[in-house]
Amino acid sequence: MNLKPTSKRAAVVIASAAVLTVGAVSGAFALAGDDDASERPIPASELEQAERAALAETGGGTVTETEVDDEESKYEVEVTLDDGSQVDVQLDESFKVVGSERDDDTSDD
């Protein structure tokens, strides 16, 4: 058996190491990231009711994101108002408002 390193064998080893490194780094980022991966949007069959309730609470705007089984309520609807601010509206199973909170992202970046 010839165990002499060849350039072809070395290239295969380096390529394999690179693939493993990329996989490990990607996995670390996935584990360290926020909980976006576990967030589920509101299903289409319930979306219209949730949007209607949230927009009635905010007095208008545009629905920009939704989530079902949020840690605070059954449904969360994010509404972007005409002035650019955002409001998270919390709804129960009957699409009744149980809370709302304006996102205050006024940092000096």
Q: How many domains does the chain have?
A: 2
The average pLDDT across 17-37 equals 55
* 24 lies in the same domain as 56: no
For 56-72, the pLDDT digits (tens) are 999 999 999 999 998 88
Query: Both 19 and 45 in a single domain?
Result: no
Give the domain CATH number at 83: 3.30.505.20
Q: How confident is the model at residue 109 (pLDDT cuts 50, 70, 90)?
A: very low
**45 and 21 in one domain?**
no
In this structure, are 29 and 44 located in the same domain? no
Residues 92 and 69 in one domain: yes
Look up residue 100 and give its two tokens.
Answer: 């709302």
15: domain range? 7-33
Does residue 61 sit in the same domain as residue 18? no
Residue 78 in domain: yes
Query: 29-43, 74-88, 91-105: which has the minimum mean pLDDT?
Result: 29-43
Let me know whether 46 and 22 are in one domain: no
Place of tokens 């009711």: 49
- pTM (two decimals): 0.62
